[in-house]
Amino acid sequence: SKYLDPDAPITSPILPPPKKETVQLPPRKASIITPSSLIITLQHAAEISSWIDRRSTIYDVTEIPYEFKLLLRGSRDGFTGEVFHRICDNIPGTVVAVKINSTNEILGGYNPLIWKISSGTN
């Protein structure tokens, strides 16, 4: 339309990009925890909590904002995938920690979502 009427003002339905705002969440209720895990310590729980919250510094062990509840212990419940899914499916905010016996390495992951295996039908 600008070419047809060069004196007409330019109007556009395209909006400018939204401004990304950083939201500071209120602090969570802190509590001292004692993990029942044989793998992770309070220091690990503080570091994992910091990763979950994407903090640049690690929480102090007296300020851990999460409650860590042991759901599965391989030596008690078994080490199969079936056991894992039976106990851990549909539980959001799951932290998995595995210790490799031969190297004493601790591996793991965090999933904030609910894990659910589909039945294979779409």
pLDDT number for residue 32: 52
pTM of structure: 0.61
pLDDT number for residue 33: 55
Q: Are 72 and 84 in contact (CB under 8 A)?
A: yes
User: What's the rounded mean pLDDT across residues 48-75?
Assistant: 91
What letter represents residue 109's amino acid?
G
